[in-house]
Structure 1
Amino acid sequence: MRRCTSALSLAVLTTGLLAGGQPALASTTAADAIGGPQLASTGLIVQAGVKAPPKTKANSYVIADAETGEVLAAKNPHGKFLPASTMKALTALTLIPKLDKNQTVKPSRAAVNEEGSAVGLVPKPIYKVHDLFRALMMVSGNDCANALSEANGGIPATLADMNAEAKRLQANDTVAKTPSGLDKPGQSSSAYDLALIARAGLQNKDFREYISTKTAKFPAPKGHYEIGNHNRMLWTYDGMIGVKNGWTSKAFGSFVGAAKRDGHTIIVSVMRHEESFWKDVEELMNWGFANRGKTAAVGALVDPLPPAQPSPAPSAPAAPVPEGNAAVSEPVAPKRENSGMLATIVLGGGLVAGVGLLGWGIRRKRRQSPTASS
């Protein structure tokens, strides 16, 4: 059923559905939706009169211009879903500034034995933080997520840092319960938040290196072995930069990625895709590149919150004036804090298409949980 809202210059073309055919509920009202009131919709959101993006089996997606921050089209962008391994993008973005990339790490046995996808760590001090970040983003190492968390003071401390970073980015649909993205009650994210996180990550040189590396040598007790990026679009899609894909049996498929063409970058995020999402992502990216600069935005990827300003220290009490002294101290006007308006920036982008040859990665064989993240 088609419904046009002329005041907002957008068309709502479909109704978002959760698993089992249940309607997806908007996480916010139009009045306070992060990124603009149109993004509160649970359906497909696109400017009226513009050909809609290709159909997809994803329950939620966002197509955005990375340079301007404009959201070009979306479907249920604030719907909350299990993120699977796309959560690792937040893990990396949070920990890269906090850890010395040349620090040597000895993973615990608990980290080494984490279920699901793994690079195959051993409990020996043979890894640099840099190695672990590469394997985290290239082969989706759950063991690396835990080892990096240990280097940051432990998993609880890291989750606190991740959730604080999400709030700083205004990714308010995101709650981290595991640094790897393995399913856990209460964990969530949204297509909008994944796009916010990816956009912030693209501004970090090390983050960009980790997500775009196709193959790399990884330390082993005797020498090294080669790992390959699981994002197959790095091999098949023109201009692909990378970011992160994920899957669990509860979350289904999730993806967030960016590609650059002709000086413009397009970000696409999808959540809860019940089949292989690669072709759909290609077509959504192609639509973004084709329509960038030709369609009005339906929302925006917002800027991070400004750093909190420390409260001014209380002034010392004035010294008493001796009797008979005519001097009177002038009252001091109180300081006023400037509450800055948060600017919304817009990114520029392009679309991605790509079928893929599968990125390969060496994983240590281990028993996999049916909900393990890939």
Structure 2
Amino acid sequence: MNTLFAAPCSPAELEARLRLHLLPDIGSRRFRTLIQAFGSACSALSAPARAWVALGVAQACADARRSPEVRTAVSATMAWLERPGQHLLMWDDPGYPALLKETDDAPPLLYVAGDPVLLERAQLAVIGSRRATPPALDTARAFSRHLARGGFTITSGLALGIDGAAHRGALDAQGSTIAVLGSGLQKLYPQRHAVLARDILERGGALVSEFALDAVPQPGNFPRRNRIISGLSLGVLVVEASLASGSLITARLAAEQGREVYAIPGSIHHPGAKGCHQLIRDGALLVESVEQIVDSLRGWQNLAPAPVDEPVDPLLALLIAAPQTSEALALSSGLALAQVLARLTELELIGRVSNEAGRWFARCG
């Protein structure tokens, strides 16, 4: 069975812990309270309901301990664990990620599909908007690719937009990546990323969730998911985010957890850049290159030297700063419009720029 424990754990205790975890309204703190109060999950389940109520657990939750639905779910989880590449980590396991364990409200159980060893490696979270612009997607993918080459495992939330680009960037570099889900591992969300999830597993990555295998995505799941993303990582890079983005919640959780927070600035006219600008005002490191991130985390071992970027074309450098029209590029670069158009055509042919609605955008390599 694919479990790791600090001390031998009997099948009965494992099943008891799963039953506790599957009960309604049992969060991580109540889970630990019950085990600490009674000495084990088995003893907690055998205790009278009034003893649970005395600890602040609702009567209905105590009464649900013996429900057939919970027993069925436990049996399904035990069967899932028998299959290769599927694991359960508990907060007192030696294999439970140390950084996450240090955080407040660390999940008592983690379901892991793929390689659980990745959870102990140096990770950098890359997150941002689900409706990211093409330049932001390119930036997230490029940064993730270079960071993965530099020795980081890229951690994100499998969401559309920046998350997906971050996972793909790590895979581009034959690096490792971890996707933390806001649903159960058997209720993959979003379904549009089913192929990405499969690729992550096939290339040695991992899918992680604290939720029961068949848990459907709920709005409240995602802030909880976000604390795991930041808790696993040495730092969090926000590529593009509005002021209402959940990425800001993750970044603030990271700051509270003592992690580094990095933000990529954007145009003052783009709403999707305002969240990153707010993070920078709040103390996040303004990031323009991968080297800045690697240098700030230089103390961590097993990281390759920072990748050296090729010199940036002057027009590309201007577009990285902000999208512009051909005429504006000619004005800001001092080149003739014909020269600008010729160079933009060359850059477009090699995939470094794109044109949308009359404006040119940089595509990071």
- TM-score when normalising by structure 1: 0.23
Query: Whose strand fraction is larger, Structure 1's or Structure 2's?
Result: 1
Query: Whose helix fraction is larger, Structure 1's or Structure 2's?
Result: 2
- TM-score when normalising by structure 2: 0.23
Higher relative contact order at CA 8 Å, sep ≥6: structure 1 or structure 2? 1
